[in-house]
Amino acid sequence: MLLISMGLSLSAQQPLPCGQPDAQAAFDASYPGAAEARVAAEQATRASAQSLLQRGGGDSEVYIIPVVFHVIHDNGEENISDAQIFDAMEILNADFRKLNADTGQIVAGFVDIAADVDVEFRLAKRDPSGNCHSGINRLQDELTYEGNNEMKQLIHWPRNSYMNVYVAASAAGAAGYTNYPSDWGANTDGIVLKHDYVGSIGTSNTYRSRTLTHECGHWLNLPHTWGSSNNPNEEENCDVDDGVEDTPLCLGSPVGFCDPERTTCGTLDNVQNYMEYSYCSKMYTLGQRARMRTALNNSLADRDELWTPQNLEDTGVFEEELLCRAEFTVDRNEVCLGNPVQFTDASFFGVTGWSWDFGDGTVLEGSSDSDQNPSHVYAEAGEYEVYLTVSNETGAVTSLDPMVISVLDDGMLPSPMVEGFEAGSGPWSEGQWEVQTLSGQPWQIRETTGYSGSRSLYVRNRQNEGGEITRTTSTTYDASGMAAVFISYKYAYSHRTTGETDDRLKLQVSKDCGDTWNTRQFHRGIIDLPTAEDHGGNFYPSGTDEWTGHLEEVNNEIYMVPNLRVRFEFESKGGNNVFIDDINVYGVDSLGNVQSFVEDMASKGLSLDVFPNPSDGAATVAAFWPGSEAVLSVRDATGRLVYREPLIGNGGRRVSLTGLAPGVHFIGLSSESRQTVQRLLVLR
């Protein structure tokens, strides 16, 4: 009764089920021949397993399986430690060799058939090219939140040499999943685990520590004890066999329900089996052992090549852990002045000493934990090349390529910032925008299309299929002491003629130098992103009438910092090309006067932006002029003057217009015998 109570208590943690049945269904849908072949081979699989059972002690060879872990992360807690992976491997090997401490709790009805599978798993020490390796790869990618087959395409080592294990923020909604061995889908062969179901430490715990053991069972052709479904505790399961003679027919335990005395189909259920959902698993049976060893002796999915002497030599699993590589990771490659960079050692093997050259004249040496994974703050802006040298009693090794850390100063952007993407002019030409493309087409310069000049920034979205994301991010803007910051820009977009799509353009700002981002404006394809008629081919705006603009006011004091950053993110949903141009960033005081941190405004010339356009009778004008005064005027379509205001000050002003009648208006700005005019359309 105590065990039942414990199971019910732990189930309150709402553990996740295995995702293998759903993953297998999707796999079979993609490869229709796979399911047919699996069914056709089942009788031969059972016969081979029975033959192995009859051999008894004659089948005692220990099979060694090389393993590689791919940790796919977004710099979150899913980027689990090496120690958590080592812990998971220890648990996996103890379970497969029947060395787990809880075997003493196996109920009497199954003690005699609890099996040592005679299979061991070892982290590879060489990669597919024969290079020294830790057996652990780490890749930063947002596909960690999906945990799907697309994520596996980021990196996949040959399945005839390695068992691929993926750790991610999500395992497609499950604790973990894999597929049965198949001649199809070689590039997706592997096990996916949600990070908090890996091992018993770190982000996981003992209760969730047997997920890898469970998924390895599937990877070696074991169904759940109630059969190949994700539906335990259903009456029809008593009529379904799992292909293993010594696992009794059962309904299957609900997720997290542990009752070792449960009887559901006329005999005692093997609730403590690793292929159950009880979360109190402690054993495989002799029959399951035979079925898994049958899979390892079959050419299906190349399982019989994994444990060959040649492959064990190629993957280095028996090699001594000699010091062979210095590697490290950082939590960020770009940081603002005064913020720390966290360095994490990933060297191997047997390191006892560390020497960090941070590139700024600082060298840190030692043998403590803080020396292994230090944090460093740079005192000056610039780019720094960081090297790591690791050592032990056998010698020392230095990292081959430097890690470049970019330290941004406060207020690197001019103020006001005027960006037209023209050649040799503006922050873009000075390298003050960076492009990060997660997938698909990047933000890039379009040489012959612009709103006010010849160039603009665009995404060749016509080449995307959907789901791709690209970002362009500015360096820092000094907004300290301002009442508000205004960000204006022009944009252009059209749908394809094949139908409306929901592509997304976002304006985002960061108050902490890019650590976190807040979306200030969200243009959607089904709402306000389109600015022109649908185009059958590539869309390139043919004139200013196929552009529109937006003016965003950021007035929360938490953003009035010396290292404000601006980012434009575009997410494709399969529409047409998108463009941005004429990005202006400027701060204003409480009276609306533009705050300037440059003495010579003359170099900025006349600049006039009007938003929104078209408007409903109210609009905001952002005006810059080179002298000490200017005049703002508004005329209707007949030329009649409807508004006039002298602008006196330090070269910039924001003016709000209201009550404009429907129709076309011309907004003019004149200063020192120079004039610029913008057309404004007012709709009702």
Render 547-595 in DSSP notation, one character per residue. -EEEEEEE--GGG-STTBEEEEEEE-SS---EEEEEEEEEEE-TTSBEE
Q: What backbone torsions phi and psi does residue 455 show, to the nearest 5 degrees?
A: -125, 160
| pTM greater than the 0.75 cutoff | no
Amino acid letter, 369? D
Distance CA 45, CA 63 (A): 19
Reduce the DSSP state of residue 8 to 3 states and report it: helix
Nearest-CA neighbor of 412 among 399, 391, 430?
430
What one-character DSSP code corresponds to residue 535?
Answer: B
Q: Which residue spans within 253-402 are E strands per DSSP?
A: 328-330, 334-336, 340-345, 353-357, 363-366, 375-377, 382-392, 395-398
Helix-helix angle 286-296:32-55, to 10 degrees:
120
Q: Scan for tokens 């404006």, then name that residue.
A: 521
Distance CA 661, CA 30 (A): 60
Nearest-CA neighbor of 401 among 328, 461, 345, 464?
328
H, E, C per residue of 178-224: CCCCCCCCHHHCCEEEEHHHCCCCCCCCHHHCCHHHHHHHHHCCCCE
Q: Is the peptide bond before 223 cis (omega within 30 degrees of 0)?
A: no
- pLDDT for res 174: 96
Beta strands 619-624; 629-636: pairing state: unpaired
H, E, C per residue of 20-75: HHHHHHHHHHHCHHHHHHHHHHHHHHHHHHHHHHHHHHHCCCCEEEEEEEEEEECC
Instruction: Pull the structure tokens for residue 136.
Output: 């652990």
Distance CA 301, CA 303 (A): 5
Contact 641, 669 (CB under 8 A): no
Beta strands 191-194; 163-168: pairing state: parallel
Instruction: Pull the structure tokens for residue 11.
Output: 């189930």
Those residues whose C-beta lies under 8 Å from the C-beta of residue 682, and which sit 6 or more positions away, are 614, 615, 616, 617, 619, 660, 661, 662, 663, 664, 665
Q: What is the helix, strand, coil percentage profile of the chain, to 5?
A: 20, 35, 45
Distance CA 428, CA 458 (A): 13
Contact 410, 513 (CB under 8 A): no
Distance CA 389, CA 327 (A): 9
Query: Is there a catalytic annotation at residue 327?
Result: no
What one-character DSSP code corresponds to residue 484?
Answer: E
Domains of the chain: 15-225+287-315 (3.40.390.10), 328-408 (2.60.40.10), 410-593 (2.60.120.200), 599-684 (2.60.40.1930)
Please, what is the Cα angle at 621 between 616 and 622, to 5 degrees?
145
Kindly name the residue from 78, 146, 215, 468 that is annotated as catalytic.
215
Distance CA 374, CA 362 (A): 12
Distance CA 93, CA 443 (A): 48
Which stretches of the chain drop beneath a pLDDT of 50? 1-12, 597-603
Instruction: Pull the structure tokens for residue 436.
Output: 């990060």
pLDDT, tens digit, for every residue of 477-530? 999 989 999 999 999 999 999 888 999 999 999 999 998 999 999 999 999 999
Contact 157, 128 (CB under 8 A): yes
Beta strands 176-177; 191-194: pairing state: antiparallel
Nearest-CA neighbor of 19 among 129, 112, 146?
146
Q: What backbone torsions phi and psi does residue 395 show, to the nearest 5 degrees?
A: 150, -155
Nearest-CA neighbor of 605 among 589, 582, 579?
582
What one-character DSSP code corresponds to residue 279?
Answer: S
Neighbours of 682 (CB within 10 A): 20
